[in-house]
Structure 1
Amino acid sequence: MLDISSKEAEAVAYSMFIDGAWTEGGDRDVIEVENPANQEIIATIPDGTQDDAERSLEAAAKAQPGWEALPAIERGRLVSRLADAVATDSHRLARIVVAEQGKPLNQAEGEIAALETFLRYAAENARRIEGEIMPSDNAAEEIWIRRRPYGVVVGLTAWNYPAALAGRKLGPALVAGNCFVLLSHEFTPLSGLELARLAAAAGIPDGVFNVVTGRGPVIGRALVESRLSDLVTMTGSTRAGREIYGSGAAQLKVLRLELGGKAPFIVMEDADVDAAVTAALQARYTNCGQVCTCSERVYVHQSVADQFTEKFVTASRALTIGDPLSNPDIGAKISGGEVQKIKRIVDEGTRAGAETLLEGGPLASGDYSRGHWYAPTVLAVDENSSPLMQQEIFGPVVPIMKVDDFDQAIDLANDTEYGLSAYLFTKNIKRLMSISHKLKFGEIYFNRSNGEQVQGFHTGWGQSGLGGEDGKYGFDGYLRKQTTYVNWA
């Protein structure tokens, strides 16, 4: 059991959790798990194989009929007990998230609270699995439409919110009657493994929840391509989503993909500028900008652009960066590769004409000589074709562009392959009604920052994905319909 009590904590050797048992790694290859804030190795995990994938799926398939046969309310009670266990162990779990992911401790505590909420909301849906009875065109006949679980669900989660994303998928899948195999990203596998430990203690039967570890191109592909997996739910990059889409094509696999985003943040001339600045700070810099719904590009009406930009740059310059356990505003980036990706996009944008208003960039000396760090960077952009306005940055970089009017802002916002989230700040309610019809995004934040709620529906359009999560519509996605024609003539 991992306990991150100091920076000098000894690395822990984890095993996979399959069919209710910890599967030892033996002589197999392992993957080292790094703390992004200091580059220390905090754990090792087995580098899973196709055989590991198949064994986990077999365990889930074997357990699924018995799990489905339980009354839904009993499945919900067990998931609720898991939520209780998460609440009891929340402090330790939050520190594990800090150690493997690099976000500030208070944000990690918020993530564990979200994990608990996802599980509790899922448990509440146990009495909401509904069907329909409708009349037939034939005499003495009715048509019954029931909702049934898919069977075996594979969950593939991203590294930015490893604990919350696992719960977001696991809770509804289990309450609906499915069994589950989780593969977290190899950068952040510890949250999922600790969740399996708590699930076993909460009484969830063997095989119902399995956790494997390894790399996406190997064990992830095997999970997707196996005939034993019935539904794949994935959160990650659009690139990875396309690969999964291709891998599942041969078996017409049911897929739910929550992918990348390039959220526009629109500020009109009648907006509360101070409120917009505050929201834009949160919407860009939370989790070091590593949020799929983060503000990725800002469009400001020319009449308030200078005022907004000056206040935003001043506030960005004042943000603190440092040891995640000390609760700075911004923690570490997940990896050196991510730091270099951001720098590449900024360099390309600068060469394309962007003006640097706040020069942050990579930090690699002094207090930042170890770890992966990127300071807030703000740039003024004149053309929407700039790499800064088109490529997903996923970091603390903010490109700002002036617009002449509302229609231009909408046109520029829609000029992207992504369609996950968008923001609008204005006091004109007519504009709200207008964007509901004109903006091509699955999720819109009006006069507020990001942060979806569990009873809503989190879904992307375009290259931002398929399906969705949360609320009654997300829960329904873990159930399929079965039609029965009942004739008693």
Structure 2
Amino acid sequence: MKQEMKIGHFIGGEWISAAGGSSIAVENPANCDVIAEVPAGGKADAEKALDAASAASRAWARTPAVERAAYLQKVAVLLRERLDSFATTIMAEQGKPLSQARGEVLGAAQQLEYHAQWARRIEGDAIASDNVGEHILILRVPYGVVVGLIPWNYPLSVTARKVAPALVAGNTIVVKPHEVTPLSAMRLAALFEEVGLPRGVLNVVTGIGTEVGEALVGSIKTNLITLTGSVRAGREVMRRAADHISQVSLELGGKAPFIVCEDADLDLAAERAVFARFRNCGQVCTSNERTYVHQSVFQPFTDKFLDRVRSLRVGDPQSDPDVGPKVSRPELEKVEAMVARAVEQGARVLAGGGRMTGAPFDRGHWFQPTVLTDLDPSMDIVRQEVFGPVASLLPFSDFDDALRQANDSDYGLSAYLFTRDYRNVMRAINELEFGEVYVNRVGPEAVNAYHTGYRLSGIGGDDGRYGFETYMRKKTIYLSAN
């Protein structure tokens, strides 16, 4: 059975237009064709969604967790059955190549399946009391109304990553997808509607962040805000959440170092470094943003790395290339400006360096897979998150130097190390100041682990037991016989 696209805010179980009647065009980044018009919501739409979530909250929290989880399991089945259809939606709105889009759909299904398993694992504690005839209980209970703010780089899987634990924990949720990629979240909501999720438990409101997002975050009805997005957005969320002391969980990107030691398998390291840099056109928070290579193997590694970069296939996402387009014109221009600035500061371009030209790249948002070297640690390209298909190669003299350069960042999400030396592994575990450390492998991260970052990469996290606990708060009960 093919699911037809439903366009609109999904509020209280109904598909509705924006209160003001205006809309936002959704564009295919591969060719700039407009593929849909979605509501440009405002404060009134945000308040209506929060009202719907609030009205449904008490009954949903009283619903047994296994019943809540059953809706997730049913939606996961439908996602797997409609894998290609959902992958086509992701390709159309985000530009992700076919196999990567299919991977995202399967990742969303896995999020739903995994979090459904927590239904029988919501546990508390019994504490011995100092008083006769008394027991102390610590319960884990839902927050109430959750607001989920979704990025454009993984519009379906991140929506599932937030919706699944929120619902199993007993919360209701209002999702605000990014205005560039709202269709995946709408389609996911339509699946929940199809399996009979009670009205108001899941709501989706589209619009720009400064309108809808600000209204959702700043409302006294919002109990928990979970954001995956930029540092700028994270700061704004924290400011607005402070008005009502709302709980926040923020995943704000990264500047991952990728350390290649002199004893590493250079073929493996080069292949994995390219994958970790250019997957999803470099638009991944865990991307290899800084490749540090021991000076004794810098040139042979660079040669292997360049061979792989030059063999990357760039093209129409439907042809399943290695690299698709940037998601939007502003994002393309941002990466272009960062490369130009790097060259101005002294960087040398080894591959790429600018926009793709000629047919079929005359339309769309295309940037060449790019490799830079002759970099100084103070350069903007080394300090700031690129979030695009641009690799930076830097040498290091010894492992102390590698650790120092890797840790010299305002971000602290992911780090990579390729080595055969157990001593280097143990030092990296203890000394790399990042929420995730990958040794002789790259991502994606595991659904049952914990995705968290330090410094500007955010607070809180997703996935696994610790991510699930984000969606519950504790309540202490004193039971006395007197």
What range describes the TM-score normalised by the shorter chain of this pair?
Answer: over 0.9
Query: TM (normalized to structure 1)?
Result: 0.97
* Preserved CA contact (<8 Å) 1:13 1:43: no
Root-mean-square deviation (Å): 1.4
Q: Is the 8 A contact 1:13 1:44 kept in 2?
A: no
How far apart, in 1, do the equivalents of 2:64 and 2:2 lie?
Answer: 35
Asked if residue 151 in structure 1 is aligned to residue 144 in structure 2, the reply is yes
Q: Tell me, yes or no, if the aligned pair for 1:50 and 1:218 is still in contact at 8 Å.
A: yes
Task: Look up the match of 1:19.
Answer: 12
Asked if the contact 1:3–1:96 (Cα under 8 Å) also holds between the matched residues in 2, the reply is no
Give the letter aligned to residue 450 of structure 2.
F
Residues 427, 273 of structure 1: CA spacing in aligned structure 2 closer, same or farther, 3 A cutoff? same
Give how far 1:431 is off.
1.5
Distance 1:98 1:81 in 2: 24
Corresponding residue of 1:9: none
Alignment CA distance shift 1:140-1:26 (3 Å): closer
Residues 1:356 and 2:349 aligned together: yes
The 1-side partners of 2:227 and 2:167 are apart by 16
**Aligned 8 A contact 1:176 1:479 in 2:** yes
| One of 322, 335, 339 as aligned partner of 1:346 | 339
5+ residue gaps, structure 2, are none
State the distance in 2 between where 1:121 and 1:367 align: 40
Query: In structure 1, what is the equivalent of residue 88 of structure 2?
Result: 95
Tell me the distance in 2 between the aligned counterparts of 1:2 and 1:61.
32
C-alpha distance in 1 between matches for 2:286 and 2:35: 29
Residue 264 of structure 1: which of 257, 263, 274 is its match?
257
Matches within 5 A, 1:66-85: 66-85=59-78
Map residues 63-462 of structure 1 onto 2, 5 A cutoff.
63-462=56-455
Retained in 1: the 8 A contact 2:19–2:42? no
Work out the CA distance in 2 between the residues paired with 1:26 and 1:143.
49
For residues 348 and 320 of structure 2, what CA distance do their matches in structure 1 show? 31
How big is the shift at 1:138?
1.7
Question: Is 1:61 equivalent to 2:60 in the alignment?
Answer: no
Counterpart CA distance in 1 for 2:19 and 2:240 is: 30
Please give the per-residue CA displacement for 1:342-388, whole angstroms capped at 9, x wherever unaligned: 11111111111111111342124322000000111111134111111
CA contact (8 A) 1:183 1:211 kept: yes
Deviations 1:387-441 (A, max 9, x none): 1110110011011011000010100011110000000000112212111221111
Aligned position for 2:39? 46
TM-aligned CA deviation for residue 85 of structure 1: 1.6
2:465 is matched with which residue: 462, 465, 472? Answer: 472
C-alpha separation between the residues in 1 aligned to 2:353 and 2:322?
Answer: 15
Instruction: Report the Cα distance in structure 1 between the residues aligned to 2:417 and 2:315, rounded to whole angstroms.
Output: 31
Indicate the residue corresponding to 1:8 in structure 2: none
Question: What's the CA shift for 1:26?
Answer: 7.3
Task: Give the percent of matched residue pairs that are identical in Structure 1 and Structure 2.
Answer: 48
Q: Displacement, 1:280?
A: 0.4
How does the TM-score come out when normalised to structure 2? 0.98
Structure 1 window deviating more from structure 2 (305-314 vs 424-433): it is 424-433
Residue 131 of structure 1 contacts residue 146 of structure 1 at CA under 8 Å; is this kept in 2? yes
Aligned residues: 482
Q: Which moved more, 1:363-372 or 1:115-124?
A: 363-372
SS of the aligned residue for 1:122 comes to helix
Amino acid at match of 1:333: K
Tell me the distance in 2 between the aligned counterparts of 1:107 and 1:367.
21
One-letter code aligned to 1:163: L
Q: Distance in 2 between matches of 1:147 and 1:157?
A: 26
Q: Which moved more, 1:16-25 or 1:52-61?
A: 16-25
TM superposition outliers: structure 1 runs of 4+ over 2 Å: 1-4, 24-27
Task: Name the SS of the counterpart of 1:363 in structure 2.
Answer: coil
**Contact between 2:277 and 2:287, CA under 8 Å: does it hold in 1?**
yes
Contact 1:2–1:96 (CA<8 Å) still a contact in 2?
A: no
Contact persistence 1:345–1:391 (CA under 8 A) = no
SS at match of 2:158: helix
- Take 1:3 and 1:104, find their aligned partners in 2: how far apart are those partners? 21
Residues of 2 paired with 1:138 and 1:282: CA distance?
60
1:87-114 deviation line (CA, Å, top 9, x unaligned): 1222111100000000101100000000
Q: Deviations over 1:10-66 (max 9, x none)?
A: xx8821100001113476110000000000000001110101001101101111111
Give the aligned residue type for 1:240: A
Residues 1:487 and 2:480 aligned together? yes
Cα distance in 2 for partners of 1:365, 1:3 equals 36
The 3 A distance-change label for structure 1 pair 69 and 27 is closer
From the superposition, tell whether residues 453 and 308 of structure 1 become closer, same or farther in structure 2 (CA, over 3 Å): same
Task: Determine the C-alpha separation between the residues in 2 that align with 1:472 and 1:354.
Answer: 43
Secondary structure of the 2:442 match is coil
Structure 1: gaps of 5 or more residues? 5-11
Which residue in the other structure is 1:7 paired with? none
The separation in 2 between residues aligned to 1:391 and 1:362, in whole angstroms, is 20
Q: Report the secondary structure of 1:155's partner residue.
A: strand
Q: Deviations over 1:121-173 (max 9, x none)?
A: 01011001001001012222121000000000000000000000000000000
Aligned partner of residue 243 in structure 2, secondary structure: helix
